[in-house]
Structure 1
Amino acid sequence: MMSGFHGLFSVGGLLGAIGVSTLLSLGFSPFQASLAVVVLLMLSAFLALPGLLTGRTHSESGPAFAFPHGIVLIIGVMCFIVFLAEGAAIDWSAVFLTTVRHVDMRYTGLGYVAFASTMTIGRLLGDRLVRHVSGRVLVTGGSLLAALGMLLVTIIPVWQMTLLGYALVGAGCANVVPVLYSAVGRQTFMPEHLAVSAITTLGYSGILVGPAALGFVAQIVNLPFALGSIGVLLVFVTMMGLMLPQALINGKTPK
């Protein structure tokens, strides 16, 4: 079910972008549109609060967080890189299309749309895909496809090919993280609840800190170089995926 959960995350991103754009087009100010989002967040928090106060998913004692080690650290680094690629598409695609490909400002959101659309479709189909394709193929093939897409974005100076590249990044990254999250649930190096907390922290730091780091690199060199370096890192994810234990990544708990 992990791909479907992540798919709804992507659906939320698309609906948020479409919803706020619609409110702005109807004459709402940015403050009013943001206020509408705040109301939805408060409503969802209110509905979730009873479960957060009363529910427990495990009875393990000990710390709520631990630094990752062993195979969990490797998976966390892989998640970090994939989330970094997602952050680059979300935060830098419009800037890249404007400043490097010189696309009209009205159409710079197409890069995110291309990325988010293929990622959403890939994740919504991911649960079915996982039942027919091995996890190793999804991780290695997906990260390699995303690397190809990112290199396509930066190398070919045609904006239509840039959009195709972002679409490939979304399709490639779609099911890598869900498969890796599932693998963490099967490993025995760390307690499951600590392992999930560790890779979630490490992974989401890629989408939080990564885009700022890319801006720093772009300031020193240029933006195509910064984005192209992500393609190289995604190839590194492919290599690490080949080294993960087959039973762990393909859906079997190792003895």
Structure 2
Amino acid sequence: MTSSSPRSQQHATRAAFFIPGFAAAVWAPLVPFAKTRAGLDDAALGLVLLCLGTGSLLAMPLAGALTARQGCRRVMLVTTALIVAMLPLLAWMPTPLSLGLVLFGFGAGIGAMDCVMNMQAVAVERDSGRAMMSGFHAFYSIGGLAGAAMTTLLLALGAAPWLAAVVAVVAIVLLALGFAGHWRSERVAQDAPLLAWPRGVVLFIGVLGFVVFLAEGAVMDWSAVFLIEARAMAPARAGAGFVVFTLVMTVTRLWGDGLVERLGRQRAIGLGAALACIGFLLAVLVPAWWVALLGYAMVGLGCANIVPALFSLTGQQKVMPESVAIPAVTTLGYAGVLAGPALVGFVAHSSSIGIALACVAMALAGVALSTRSLMRNLR
């Protein structure tokens, strides 16, 4: 058992959530530059982005099993080192193959960290005796806001993409050095399986997570491209879409625990998914860049507390042990990151980016309509 204080562990958990959110958001404004540098069209970009999701998906079950045997601290140190190693390379890769390989490694680091930080968060929340999950996830959004804003600002000031990536690496290293000593080191179980297939309500929760992560991934990887190609924004400013999305999500999650307690998890998930659906449709249907930004803000507001609520429900269910249910839900949920950007790219290539994003909106409508059934299955 780790010897650090509960308060120190809570702060360290927030730092753990900040790191992957920050790193992923640094990549988002760089996507149009990487697309141009590697000579990719929409379909090819979608295929290359598939590498990021594949790396994440494959790393998650391994990260869960290693955490059970080695503890959160060791695994998060390794994943942070992988993120730091891959991030600068994203700005330099000149071919689709090299970019795809680096994205695979970068995605593995992000995905593994996402899995382990949620395992740590569930343990820290349980020890605290109060709801903390939305607050922890808020720091993922804070990291996203900081990463997107910093990178967009540096690019707007004329900095090269590689320089923005190096500045981000320095920030991540300093943060890890300050908080890694308070990441939990106890081993949860020695016989945890490498891969646990979700079943019952765990599968239901994972499918809903898949859709929400798909929507968030669509904003992260395609918002800048959509604003450039469909709304004629300058490339150096197109990261504003992800910044607005992340800012609204961050503010909403900071008060998310109290909001979810007042609304109840069923209403929080259902109303959030409906609002996000409307946001995507607004961005797609109204031909003005500022309306698109408003739509992204609504997506951030709607999606903000869905994923934290789903992880809390995973901790409440009795179908599967928590130590295997959390990695299973994380893996299935983040499969949305694997499928989402690629599917958006393929649909955009055959029709338009707008139609692809409208399809995401319809999937969110399905989430909104399924919440009553979800709560029935939890009883």
Q: Is 1:214–2:344 an aligned residue pair?
A: yes
Q: 2:144 aligns with which of 4, 10, 13?
A: 13
- Decide whether aligned partners of structure 1 residues 65 and 48 sit closer, same or farther in structure 2, where only a CA change above 3 A counts: farther
Aligned to 2:331: 201
What residue number does 1:75 align with? 205
1:48-63 residue pairs with structure 2 within 5 A? 54-56=185-187, 58-59=188-189, 61-63=191-193
Q: 1:25 to 1:92 in 2, by over 3 A?
A: closer
- Offset of residue 44 of structure 1: 4.2
Distance 1:53 1:135 in 2: 28
2: CA distance, partners of 1:44 / 1:114: 24
Give 1:166's aligned residue. Answer: 296
Question: 1:153-192 alignment to 2 at 5 Å?
Answer: 153-192=283-322
Q: For each residue in 1:184-217, what CA deviation from the matched residue of structure 2 results, as whole angstroms up to 9, or x when unmatched?
A: 0011111111111011111122124411221111
* 1:35 aligned onto 2:166: yes
Q: Flag structure 2 segments of 5+ consecutive residues without an equivalent.
A: 1-131
Deviation per residue, 1:28-54 (Å, 9 max, x gap): 543233223223333444556556683
Which deviates the most, 186-195 or 206-215?
206-215
Contact kept, 8 Å, 2:213 with 2:336, in 1: the verdict is: yes
CA distance in structure 2 between the aligned counterparts of 1:60 and 1:237, rounded to whole angstroms: 36
Identity percentage of aligned residues: 44
How far 1:173 moved relative to its partner? Answer: 0.3
Separation (CA, whole Å) in 2 of partners of 1:162 and 1:22: 20
Query: Aligned match of 1:148 in 278, 281, 296?
Result: 278
> Deviation per CA, 1:132-180, whole angstroms, max 9, x where unpaired?
1111110000000101111111112222221111111000000011111
CA distance in 1, matches of 2:183, 2:241: 37
**Which segment is superposed worse, 40-49 or 161-170?**
40-49
Which segments of 5 or more consecutive residues in structure 1 lack a partner in the other structure? 249-253
Does the 8 Å CA contact 1:101/1:158 hold for their aligned counterparts? yes
| CA positional deviation for 1:10 | 0.4
The amino acid of 2:331's aligned partner reads: T
Q: Aligned partners of 2:234 and 2:158: how far apart in 1?
A: 22
- Measured at CA, do residues 25 and 94 of structure 1 come closer, stay the same or move farther in structure 2, by a change above 3 Å? closer
Question: SS state of the match for residue 366, structure 2?
Answer: helix
State the secondary structure of the residue aligned to 1:62. coil
Deviates more, 1:33-42 or 1:210-219: 33-42
The reply on whether 1:110 has 2:237 as its aligned counterpart is: no
TM-score by structure 2 length? 0.61
1:134 is the counterpart of 2:264: yes
Counterpart Cα distance in 1 of 2:263 and 2:183: 35
Cα pair 2:148 2:239 within 8 Å, conserved = no
1:241 aligns with 2:371: yes
1:120 is matched with: 250
The reply to whether residue 86 of structure 1 matches residue 221 of structure 2 is no
Aligned length: 248
Give the counterpart letter for 1:240 in structure 2.
S
Give the conservation status (yes or no) of the 8 Å contact 1:136–1:246: no
SS of equivalent to 2:316: coil
Paired residue type of 1:37: A
Q: 1:96 to 1:27 in 2, by over 3 A?
A: closer
Displacement of 1:22 after TM fit? 4.3
Between 62-71 and 185-194, the greater mean CA deviation after superposition: 62-71
Q: Tell me which residue corresponds to 1:251.
A: none
| Distance change in 2, residues 1:48/1:201 (3 Å) | farther
The separation in 2 between residues aligned to 1:230 and 1:34, in whole angstroms, is: 30
Q: Secondary structure at the match of 2:370?
A: helix
Shift in Å at residue 60 of structure 1? 6.7
Question: Structure 1 residues 163 and 202 mapped into 2: Cα distance closer, same or farther (>3 Å)?
Answer: same
Q: 1:107 Cα shift?
A: 3.4
Q: Structure 1 CA distance, aligned partners of 2:348 and 2:205?
A: 27
Structure 1 CA distance for aligned equivalents of residues 288 and 175 of structure 2: 42
Counterpart residue type for residue 125 of structure 1? W
Scaled by the length of structure 1, what TM-score is found? 0.88
Structure 1 counterpart of 2:211, one-letter code: I
